[in-house]
Amino acid sequence: MMASEIRRVVAGASIGNAVEWYDFAIYGFLATRIADKFFPPGNDTAALLNTFAVFAAAFFVRPVGGFVFGPMGDRIGRQRVLALVILLMSGATVAIGFLPTYASIGLFAPLLLLLLRCLQGFSAGGEYGGGAVYLAEFARTESRGLTVTFIAWSGVVGFLLGSLTVTLLGGVLGDAAMDGYGWRIPFLIAGPLGLVGLYIRMRLEDTPQFSELSRADRVASSPLRTAFTTSWRPILQVIGLFMVFNVGYYVVFVFVQSHLIKTRGFSASQASVSMTLATTVALVLILPLAALSDRVGRRPLLIAGSAAFIVLAYPLFSLLNSGSLAGAITAHCVLAAIESVYVATAVSAGVELFATTVRYSGFSIGYNICVAAFGGTTPYIVTWLTAATANPAAPAWYLTAAAILSLLTVRTVRETARRPLPQTVDQPAGVKPVG
């Protein structure tokens, strides 16, 4: 396959994914303002917990999206499903920007917010896994880790875009305007961004591996049943692998910003600067580390990332809570660097565990079950832990526990770097597909 074609495919999948994750991320970046707008006044901690509960609810719907869009992608193709999910996500995000607040319609405000967040979660259930599978099936074997990891990298781009949007709007409009109407603007921007992403994805073709299966009439008639009966072990491995991936991701790129404001007393602009710098660290590191995984294998980097969290999570949270802005930003950036080691490797390692016939279904189900249990719940759990223990370093305990479980899972996973992807479940990994 020509390098120019791979670049076009990477750009199409990555741009669409960045738009999706911008949509999903701005809710987290605006959590403190949403708490004030959509929940009863009087208890800031309770309002923030309710905001993160709605954040988590969207993740509980994600497995439903995985169960719907995964088998659909294995039956009708990857490209069509990826076009559909970006349309759903962007539409739900724009609608949040138009919602009336608690002061206007009372309890209907958080209920409508919950409904739209669940629609976001439903569409996201088909996005991340589908994008990763799409890139894996176009990639060259020797550089598949780098190619697939563009999907994770573009998700961080979406987070950075959301952070910069919120930060710039806050600086230009000021707190009063942001509280009045400015918080709506990032959600409304999702409209044109989504249309751009949809246009790009509509112009993409389906993957060579899926097209080969389709021409040979070997597409699974019931991908969901096939995935559970033939690939239950890889599904469980994906859940274990992505525990620290998700806990780390939502601690570093969602929770810490609100933590710095509500618990440590930093201003919203200072917390946004810290988030922007931490996200930039991830953007710089993820792709070179992914290329490294193509040379040394997936397992060494997965072990290094999870072990680093086990050893350093508590010391870094102690520095984060030291009261020094420089110390907080430094700790935040180091946490982002450790997360980057894991992010750079886990997605390619996960999709490589499945055959083409069930790859979209198997990976999406495992990934989204893990996200529901250990991703969207993380901001709520660590916020509760901090309040219940009166220990601002308590989130480190949760992060360490997730890292231990993921490290144990890594030990059960075979090395998949530089091996051709199997087409069917009866073809051993590493055997070159026929055709």
- For 258-315, write each residue's pLDDT tens digit: 889 888 888 878 888 898 899 899 999 999 999 999 999 999 999 999 999 999 999 9
Q: Which residues contact 132 (CB under 8 A, 6 or more apart)?
A: 148, 151, 152, 347, 348, 350, 351, 363
CA atoms within 13 A on the CB side of 391: 11
Higher pLDDT among residues 404 and 174, named by residue:
404
Burial string for 280-292 (b: 16+ CB within 10 Å, else e) reads ebbbebbbebbeb
DSSP class of residue 415 equals P
- Using CA atoms, how far apart are residues 56 and 373, in angstroms rounded to an integer? 9
User: Across residues 323-333, what is the average pLDDT?
Assistant: 95
Identify whether 150 is part of a domain. yes
Q: Which residue bears the tokens 């969290």?
A: 309
Lowest mean pLDDT segment, chosen from 23-27, 177-181, 203-207, 367-371: 23-27
Helix (H, G, I), strand (E, B) or coil at 251: helix
The tokens for 418 are 């530089």
Q: What is the 3-state secondary structure (H, E, C) of 340-389?
A: HHHHHHHHHHHHCCCCHHHHHHHHHHHHHHHHHHHCCCHHHHHHHHHHHH
Identify whether 45 is part of a domain. yes
Identify whether 258 is part of a domain. yes
- pLDDT at residue number 1: 55
- Using CA atoms, how far apart are residues 89 and 97, in angstroms rounded to an integer? 13
DSSP class of residue 266 equals -
Identify whether 52 is part of a domain. yes
Per residue in 77-105, pLDDT (tens digit) is: 888 899 899 899 889 999 999 999 888 89
- pLDDT at residue number 9: 87
Burial string for 225-251 (b: 16+ CB within 10 Å, else e) reads ebbeebbeebbebbbbbbbbbbbbbbb
Q: Which residue bears the tokens 């800031």?
A: 44
412 exposed, middle or buried (CB, 10 Å; 0-12, 13-18, 19+)?
exposed
- pLDDT at residue number 426: 63
Q: Which residues contact 425 (CB under 8 A, 6 or more apart)?
A: 226, 230, 231, 355, 357, 358
The tokens for 72 are 């659909």
Segments in 98-184 forming alpha helices (H)? 102-105, 108-138, 144-180
Sheet strands (E) in 235-325 = none
- Residue of 100, 102, 97 whose CA lies nearest to 120: 97
The tokens for 164 are 């910069």
- pLDDT at residue number 347: 96
Higher pLDDT among residues 433 and 201, named by residue:
201
- Using CA atoms, how far apart are residues 299 and 26, in angstroms rounded to an integer? 33
Q: How close are the terminal C-alpha atoms of the chain, in Å?
A: 14
- Using CA atoms, how far apart are residues 274 and 15, in angstroms rounded to an integer? 24
Do the Cβ atoms of 388 and 396 come closer than 8 Å? no
Do the Cβ atoms of 138 and 14 come closer than 8 Å? no
Q: Which amino acid is at 429?
A: A
**How many residues does the structure list for the chain?**
435
Identify whether 115 is part of a domain. yes
Do the Cβ atoms of 263 and 422 come closer than 8 Å? no
Per-residue pLDDT for 359 more than 90?
yes
- Using CA atoms, how far apart are residues 22 and 82, in angstroms rounded to an integer? 16
DSSP class of residue 184 equals G
- Using CA atoms, how far apart are residues 317 and 308, in angstroms rounded to an integer? 13
pLDDT over 90 percentage in the chain: 46
- pLDDT at residue number 432: 45
The tokens for 256 are 């810490």
How many structural domains are present in the chain?
1
CA atoms within 13 A on the CB side of 122: 13
What range does the domain containing 144 cover?
13-207+227-412
Q: How confident is the model at residue 154 (pLDDT cuts 50, 70, 90)?
A: very high
- Using CA atoms, how far apart are residues 17 and 128, in angstroms rounded to an integer? 7
Identify whether 423 is part of a domain. no
CATH number, domain containing residue 398: 1.20.1250.20
Q: How confident is the model at residue 222 (pLDDT cuts 50, 70, 90)?
A: confident
User: Across residues 41-64, what is the average pLDDT?
Assistant: 80
Q: Is 222 left (phi over 0), alpha (psi -120 to 50) or beta?
A: beta
Identify whether 99 is part of a domain. yes
Identify whether 268 is part of a domain. yes
